[in-house]
Amino acid sequence: MTTWTSICHIEDIPRLGSRRVARPGRTDVAVFRTADDRVFAMLDRCPHKGGPLSQGIVFGDGVACPLHNWTINLIDGSARAPDVGCAQVFSVRVEAGQVSLDADELAAPDRALVRAE
C-alpha cells in the first residue's frame, strides 16, 4: 500500500508554476500546478543537462526547461520531439486541496541521469 507524505496545500503552488521539495543530499523534487489545477511531480533535473525544471515556464501539461528550452511532458516526464529523454516522475495525490507524494518514491535514491545525445 502506498504511504502518502503530505507536502503542501495546492494553493502553495502558483498556477502555471511550480515549487520544489528539498531533499538534502539528493536532487529536489519539483511540484507543478497546471492552469486547471492538476498537480504533477518530477525530479528537478532536466534529462538534457540537468536544468532545474522547477524554474521553467509551465504551459498545458508541459514545462519548458529554463536552460535550453526543452519541453518536458508533466504527465510522463518524456521530452517532447524532436528531443529525446525522460525525467523521473513521482506519484501525486491531491485530496481536498492537500498535495501528497509517495513516501517510498521520495525516499528512493536518485536514478542515474538519463542523458540524450
Partner 1 sequence: MDTQTVLEPGQTSDDFSASTRLKLVVIGNGMAGIRAVEELLKLAPDLYDIAVFGAEPHPNYNRILLSPVLSGEQTLEQIVLNPLQWYAEHGIRLHLGKTVVDVQRRQRVVIADDGTREPYDRLLIATGSNPFILPVPGTDLQGVISYRDIADTQAMIDAATRYKHAVVIGGGLLGLEAANGLAVRGMTVTVVHIAPWLMERQLDETAGKLLQQSLEARGLKFLIGAQTQALIADRDGRVMAVQFKDGSEIPADLVVMAAGIRPNTALAEKIGLHCSRGIVVNDTMQTITDPRIYSVGECAAHRGIAYGLVAPLFEQGKVAATHLAQFGIGRYTGSQTSTKLKVTGIDLFSAGNFTGGPDCEEIVMSDPYGGVYKKLVIQNDKLVGACMFGDTADGSWYFKLLRAGRPIGDIRDKLMFGEDNIGDSGHEGHSKAAAMPDDAEVCGCNGVTKGTICKAIKEKGLFTLDEVRKHTKASASCGSCTGLVEQLLMFTAGGDYSAAPTRKAMCGCTDHSHADVRQAIVEQRLLSIDEVYRALDWRTPNGCASCRPAVNYYLISSWPKEAVDDPQSRFINERGHANIQKDGTYSVIPRMWGGETSASELRRIADAVDKYRIPTVKVTGGQRIDLLGVKKEDLPAVWADIGMPSGHAYAKALRTVKTCVGSEWCRFGTQDSTQMGKDLERAMWRMYAPHKVKFAVSGCPRNCAEAGIKDVGIIGVDSGWEMYVAGNGGIKTEVAHFLVKLKTAEEVLEYTGAFCQLYREEGWYLERTVHYVSRVGLDHVKKKILDDAEGRKALWARLQFSLDGEPDPWFEFDKAQVDLRQFAPLATLKEDA
Residue with cell 524554474: 55
Q: Are strands 89-90 and 71-73 parallel, antiparallel or unpaired?
A: unpaired
List 4, 10, 38, 55, residue binding partner 1 (CB under 8 A): 55
| Nearest distance in Å: CB 18, ligand FES | 14
| Nearest distance in Å: CB 2, ligand FES | 29
Strands of 71-73's sheet in order across: 57-59, 62-64, 71-73
47 lies in the site for partner 1, by CB under 8 A: no
- C-alpha grid cell, residue 99: 498535495
Q: Report yes or no: 54 and 82 within 8 Å, Cβ to Cβ.
A: no
Q: Which does 77 bind (CB under 5 to 8 A by kind): ligand FES, partner 1, none?
A: none
List 48, 63, 88, 89, residue binding ligand FES (CB under 6 A): 48
